[in-house]
């Protein structure tokens, strides 16, 4: 039975895969899919939907409240028609003026109804709690709102206005509403409520029969600022309702998760950072000892800005550390960079943050209750966190101010009134994955020095935090889904099916990660169906898989800067030496410059010409031998004379240079230390490797494990998920190595380079399959062969009988002869075979090429297929019906289909002015002949600032409308209106909104021609469309589809289509979009090869008169087969 190894390269939007046996590449391919985030902002897709849903609900509740108000007016006898306010108003008097008049005069029923309606509709801003008001100080927009509210309140008090309407009309006679980004007219709901109460009192005194106290209570409530239509507002999710949405603990399945603001949760975070912290002394990394941990334990509770340098300064002060101590994991700059101030101090970053602790501490201090805070906090520091945990729970679970006060009164607070006065202004959110019960079992163990995983392992019923493999677990032929079905009953016996994450796996919630892992699961299952269970699964994951978009962009910029520096260096080399350098020569030259032209081990000067021309003069050496570290990074490479490299063998610089007379106090080692420390170009990471003293078996294993295996949480999760749930095939070779390994990207990059497998990301998506094949080849046997080869190269020139520095055994050089000649490959001609399988698209040529290798049987050749990238189609029926902006469309523009669009002055372009001033152009200013002075003034302002609209019309440069004399005496102009040419979309409230994304295209045929009908989301309501596109015609003139037309199929994004046009080659690809103006379609090349067009997109494919138009299905592994016959489906 064949023994297959699966290789997976999992990225943000792709899964490369490969299947290898002992002697050949069985199959390989790529599965691509859309990222689970928005393209521009990088927000989760569900965030956009959730925000739109919440906005709809808020608008619905507002509309329903006003509907209830209008119905109340009708019952009260104020109006005859409850729909009066839903119609276009027939009155002309300003509602603000009516509100002011109501303070002195009796209002008619309609006027009184308008006043109440106006106040209830525009009821101002209201903080639902003191905590929300306090929190606004730290928010930029919230701070401006608060300033605006304070400003209008001050105006009321200073000038003794009777009501907000009186104040607004007096202070802001030109405009009573805030403009974009303004808050100077912000009004408090409390002030407006007081105005409405004053109006009721005044109207009662003046004899208004519709101003009774009962009617007032229905509007303004009972004084609790919650009841009544004016104050009515759905409260935030709180208390029991919030707990229904809160998940359960990872270990204590019946316990709710703990607030992140609880002392126990923050203590857990701090102990995790503390126990994982490593310091580097004399090139050796070690954890903190017991004395250091105890000394550090209370430090972050004393200062809010607890950084690495804070800890270091504290320890240096008390004599625990010297100035030379460095922290492991920080990217220390070289001395040259530090002196040039081009790099930030890596120790100037937070070691840990305890935000809840310090927010509480500062709140009590600001209120003058520091002694009270000591009474509350000291028990927690003395290992009794009960009270602080209870406080955090109340402030995290309850949002309403009244509820918070009620819950706090149930706690054993010292001086309850004073404590509650401070605490009611604070709110927390977010929850840990662990409960307080679990934390109180884990934290004491961590305080004893155990890491989190070690502490959890000490509790038998918890097992292990990373889902340790259960030997007795039931394994499956296929990987099970990350979700499991859940059945609920929702009243009257209606059964609702829903999906939830599996309880037996801590599935990552990041939607980008989840989609990538789910697609990888589908690939694995498809491969098992095709080839059976593998003996091993090797995985590589993109380093940025779980990073947000802004971090990925930051990494991308850093990579681009690195490439730019390299390109600049290559140009300098070509200028100085007259030819373009190859990889090995360029690496030597870069190290030569870094080392200031000296051999690293002997400090002798190097002849640059011999370095470049004579491969036997100087060599690049791994400071920590590659066979003992698998570290091929630049931080582990130096340029040395060949004799020094040969004499060093597979020893570290310390082991080699202390073998000379004097040992550690000898001249060679001391000179080397001085040279390394004096090299300003060396970063701390490189210095640590070069000067490392202790590098025994344990340290070597640690380096090897880090450089071979990816230990990130997501990698561990998927690895453990495969091992726990997937039934792997039995090995026939007796190998007992791990069956599922997450390979470090550094190792695969090293192997790619040594095997001559260059990867150019921009060329196509095929490189994902290349990576997967290399990952699959990273078997235990390959790693061992690589170690043997590296070891042999390192000791090739040593004398027989030299002791191995790692094991102490006497080396037998003859034992390494088999690894002497060539860098190890999985099998002969592996690189050639992989390149052919990746890039040869002619099946006949591919079979001929593979036949020459001799490792393919005839059956294998018959089953051979070329690489074809599979893409996940987007077959959905929902989404946004239309874009968010509704454009005005007056009656005079409806006939021609034009709209009016308001654009900010900052969005204008000087080069467009001539066209916009021409009323005959498709896009032009509204009535340009009547606003000549305005447009001329705008143009002059733009010309003054070189066409830069953002500077010409910035916030500090208001633009005033010119009068008839051309003087800027008119109102401030922030935007102008344009007439936009022919537009298509959905009529809404007298305007036009543009269609959102097209769901699909329905294809019909008649008389040998193909007709395309675009289908949008709004057709779910209006019914399926029956018009097929006619190029350059209005939709009303499109072809009407009737019974004489035959339906062929529906095409969704990423469906695979083939188009045969007359006299042209066959065009095939994944459907990308339809141009409704001309009926042409766009398709992606299957691998998005840059050679066929920008980003692999083939544009402008006419299909109406094509000889054939066919839809095909592509499975997960890239196999193509005919699509089954379809009937036209609705959108329900």
Q: Of 9, 389, 849, 1055, which is the active-site residue? A: 9
Residue 329's Cβ-side half-sphere holds a number of Cα atoms within 13 Å equal to 11
Nearest-angstrom CA–CA distance, 628 and 648: 14
Question: Is 687:676 a contact under the CB 8 Å cutoff?
Answer: yes
User: E strands, 959-1037, where?
Assistant: 975-980, 986-988, 991-995, 998-1006, 1009-1016, 1027-1028
Q: Which pLDDT belongs to residue 468?
A: 45
3-state secondary structure 424-480: CCCCCCCECCCCHHHHHHHHHHHHCCCCHHHHHHCCCCCCCCCCCCCCCCCCECCCC
Marked catalytic residue, from 622, 767, 924, 1086: 622
Give the pLDDT confidence score for residue 813 in this predicted structure.
46
160: left (phi over 0), alpha (psi -120 to 50) or beta: left
CB distance 115 to 199 below 8 Å: yes
222 counts as catalytic: no
Backbone phi and psi for residue 516, each to the nearest 5 degrees, phi listed first: -65, -45
Residue 738: the pLDDT is 65
Close Cβ partners of 16 (under 8 Å, ≥ 6 residues apart):
7, 8, 9, 28, 29, 30, 767, 768, 769, 770, 771, 772
637: helix, strand or coil: strand
pLDDT in tens, 53-111: 888 899 999 999 999 999 999 999 999 999 998 887 777 788 999 999 999 999 999 99
Pick out the chain residues at pLDDT < 50: 465-469, 472, 485-498, 800-802, 807-820
Burial 908-920 (b: 16+ CB within 10 A, else e): bebeebeebbeee
pLDDT at residue 489, as a whole number: 40
Report how far residue 648's alpha carbon sits from residue 532's, in angstroms, rounded to the nearest whole number: 48
Cβ atoms 682, 335 nearer than 8 A: yes
DSSP summary character for residue 1066: -
Question: What is the model's pLDDT at position 704?
Answer: 67
List beta partners, residue 134.
none
Known catalytic residue at 1042: no
Query: 1075 — phi, psi (to 5°)?
Result: -90, 105
Answer for the pair 611, 620: CB distance below 8 angstroms, yes or no: no
Pairing label, strands 1080-1084, 1067-1075: antiparallel
With vertex at residue 927, the alpha carbon angle to CA 926 and CA 931, rounded to the nearest 5 degrees, is: 100
103 token code pair: 């303070």
Beta bridge pairs of residue 278: 287
Distance CA 339, CA 306 (A): 25
**Mapping DSSP to helix (H, G, I), strand (E, B) and coil, where does residue 516 land?**
helix
Tell me the C-alpha to C-alpha distance, in Å, between residue 90 and each of 84, 85, 87, 98, 564: 10, 10, 9, 15, 67
String of b and e for 1104-1124 (b: at least 16 CB within 10 Å)? bebeebbbeebebbbeeeebe
The phi, psi pair for 1114, rounded to 5°, reads -125, 125
What's the maximum distance between 2 C-alpha atoms anywhere in the chain? 117
Contact between 1015 and 1001 under an 8 Å Cβ cutoff? The reply is yes
pTM tops 0.85, yes or no: no
Helix (H, G, I), strand (E, B) or coil at 1061: coil
Neighbours of 572 (CB within 10 A): 12
Number of C-beta neighbours around residue 335 at 10 A: 17
Residue among 1023, 1019, 1021, 938 at smallest CA distance from 974: 938
């Amino acid at each position: 039975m064949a023994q297959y190894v699966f290789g997976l390269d999992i990225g943000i939007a792709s899964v490369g895969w490969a299947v290898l046996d002992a002697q050949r590449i069985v199959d390989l391919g790529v599965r691509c899919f859309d990222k689970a985030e928005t393209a521009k902002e990088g927000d989760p897709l569900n965030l956009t939907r959730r925000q739109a849903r919440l906005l709809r609900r808020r608008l619905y509740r507002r509309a329903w409240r006003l509907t209830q108000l209008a119905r109340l007016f009708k019952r009260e006898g104020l109006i005859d028609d409850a729909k009066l306010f839903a119609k276009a108003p027939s009155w002309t008097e300003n509602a603000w003026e009516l509100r002011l008049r109501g303070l002195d005069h009796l209002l008619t029923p309609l006027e009184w109804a308008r006043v109440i309606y106006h106040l209830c509709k525009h009821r101002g801003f209201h903080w639902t709690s003191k905590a929300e008001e306090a929190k606004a100080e730290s928010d930029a927009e919230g701070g401006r709102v608060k300033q605006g509210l304070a400003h209008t309140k001050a105006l009321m008090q200073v000038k003794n206005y009777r009501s907000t309407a009186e104040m607004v009309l007096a202070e802001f006679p030109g405009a009573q509403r805030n403009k974009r980004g303004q808050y100077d007219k912000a009004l408090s709901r409390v002030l407006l409520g007081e105005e409405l109460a004053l109006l009721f009192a005044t109207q009662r005194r003046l004899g208004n029969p519709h101003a009774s106290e009962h009617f007032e209570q229905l509007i303004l409530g009972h004084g609790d600022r919650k009841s009544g239509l004016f104050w009515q507002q759905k409260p935030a999710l709180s208390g029991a309702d919030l707990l229904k949405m809160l998940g359960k603990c990872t270990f204590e399945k019946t316990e709710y998760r703990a607030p992140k603001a609880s002392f126990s949760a923050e203590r857990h975070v701090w102990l995790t950072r503390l126990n994982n912290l490593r310091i580097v002394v004399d090139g050796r990394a070690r954890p903190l000892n017991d004395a250091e941990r105890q000394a550090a334990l209370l430090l972050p509770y004393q200062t809010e800005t607890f950084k690495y340098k804070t800890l270091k300064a504290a320890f240096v002060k008390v004599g625990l550390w010297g100035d030379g101590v460095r922290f492991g994991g920080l990217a220390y700059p070289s001395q040259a960079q530090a002196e040039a101030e081009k790099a930030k101090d890596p120790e100037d970053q937070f070691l840990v943050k305890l935000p809840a602790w310090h927010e509480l501490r500062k709140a009590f201090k600001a209120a003058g209750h520091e002694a009270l805070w000591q009474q509350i906090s000291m028990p927690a520091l003395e290992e009794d966190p009960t009270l602080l945990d209870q406080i955090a729970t109340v402030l995290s679970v309850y949002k309403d101010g009244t509820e918070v006060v009620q819950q706090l009164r149930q706690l054993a607070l010292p001086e309850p009134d004073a404590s509650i006065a401070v605490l009611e202004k604070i709110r927390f959110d977010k929850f840990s994955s662990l409960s307080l019960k679990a934390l109180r079992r884990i934290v004491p163990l961590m305080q004893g020095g155990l890491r989190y995983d070690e502490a959890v392992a000490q509790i038998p019923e918890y097992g292990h935090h990373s889902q340790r493999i259960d030997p007795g677990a039931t394994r499956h032929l296929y990987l099970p889904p990350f979700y499991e079905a859940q059945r609920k009953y929702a009243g009257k016996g209606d059964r609702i099916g829903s999906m939830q994450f599996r309880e037996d796996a801590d599935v990552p919630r990041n939607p980008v990660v989840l989609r990538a892992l789910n697609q990888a699961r589908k690939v694995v299952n498809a491969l098992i169906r095709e080839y059976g269970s593998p003996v091993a699964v090797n995985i590589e994951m993109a380093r940025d898989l779980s990073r947000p978009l802004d971090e990925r962009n930051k990494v991308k910029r850093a990579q681009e800067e690195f490439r730019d520096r390299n390109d600049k260096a290559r140009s300098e080399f070509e200028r100085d030496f007259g030819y373009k350098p190859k990889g090995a020569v360029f690496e030597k030259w870069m190290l030569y410059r870094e080392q200031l032209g000296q051999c690293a081990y002997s400090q002798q000067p190097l002849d640059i010409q011999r370095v470049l021309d004579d491969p036997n003069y100087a060599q690049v050496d791994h400071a920590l031998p590659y066979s003992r570290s698998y570290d091929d990074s630049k931080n582990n490479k130096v340029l040395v004379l060949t004799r020094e490299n040969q004499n060093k063998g597979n020893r570290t610089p310390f082991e080699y240079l202390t073998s000379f007379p004097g040992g550690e106090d000898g001249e060679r080692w001391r000179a080397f230390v001085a040279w390394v420390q004096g090299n300003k170009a060396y970063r701390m990471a490189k210095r640590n490797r070069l000067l490392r003293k202790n590098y025994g078996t344990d340290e070597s294993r640690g380096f090897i494990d880090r450089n071979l295996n990816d230990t990130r949480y997501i990698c561990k999760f998927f690895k453990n998920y495969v091992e726990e749930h997937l039934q792997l095939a039995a090995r026939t070779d007796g190998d007992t190595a791990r069956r599922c390994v997450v390979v470090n990207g550094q190792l695969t990059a090293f192997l790619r380079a040594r095997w001559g497998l260059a990867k150019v990301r921009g060329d196509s998506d095929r490189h994902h399959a290349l990576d997967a094949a290399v990952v699959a080849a990273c078997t235990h046997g390959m790693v061992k062969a690589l170690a043997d080869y590296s070891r042999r190269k390192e000791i090739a020139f040593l004398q027989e009988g030299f002791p191995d520095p790692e094991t102490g055994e006497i080396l037998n050089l003859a034992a390494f002869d088999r690894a002497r000649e060539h860098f190890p490959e999985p099998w002969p001609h592996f690189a050639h075979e992989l390149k052919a399988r990746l890039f040869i698209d002619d099946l006949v040529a591919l079979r001929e090429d593979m036949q020459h290798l001799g490792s393919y049987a005839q059956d294998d050749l018959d089953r051979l297929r070329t690489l074809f990238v599979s893409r996940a189609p987007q077959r959905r029926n929902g989404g946004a019906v239309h874009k968010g902006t509704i454009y005005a469309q007056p009656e005079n523009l409806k006939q021609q289909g034009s709209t009016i669009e308001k654009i900010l002055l900052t969005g204008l372009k000087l080069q467009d002015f001539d066209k916009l001033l021409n009323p005959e152009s498709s896009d032009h200013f509204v009535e340009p002949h009547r606003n000549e002075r305005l447009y001329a003034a705008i143009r002059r302002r733009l010309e003054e600032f070189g066409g830069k609209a953002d500077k010409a019309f910035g916030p500090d440069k208001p633009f005033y409308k010119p009068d008839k004399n051309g003087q800027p005496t008119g109102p401030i102009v922030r935007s102008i209106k344009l007439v936009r040419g022919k537009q298509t979309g959905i009529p809404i409230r007298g305007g036009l909104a543009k269609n959102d994304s097209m769901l699909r295209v329905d294809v019909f045929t008649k008389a040998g021609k193909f007709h395309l009908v675009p289908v949008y989301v709004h057709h779910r309501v209006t019914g399926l469309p029956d018009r097929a596109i006619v190029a350059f015609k209005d939709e009303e003139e499109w072809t009407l589809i009737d019974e004489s037309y035959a339906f062929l199929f529906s095409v969704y994004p990423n469906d695979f289509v083939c188009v045969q046009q007359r006299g042209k080659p066959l065009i095939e690809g994944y459907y990308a979009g339809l141009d409704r103006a001309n009926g042409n379609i766009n398709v992606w090349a299957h691998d998005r090869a840059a050679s066929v067009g920008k980003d692999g997109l083939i544009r402008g494919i006419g299909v109406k008169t094509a000889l054939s138009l066919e839809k095909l299905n592509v499975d997960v592994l890239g196999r193509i087969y005919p699509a089954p016959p379809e009937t036209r489906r609705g959108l329900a």
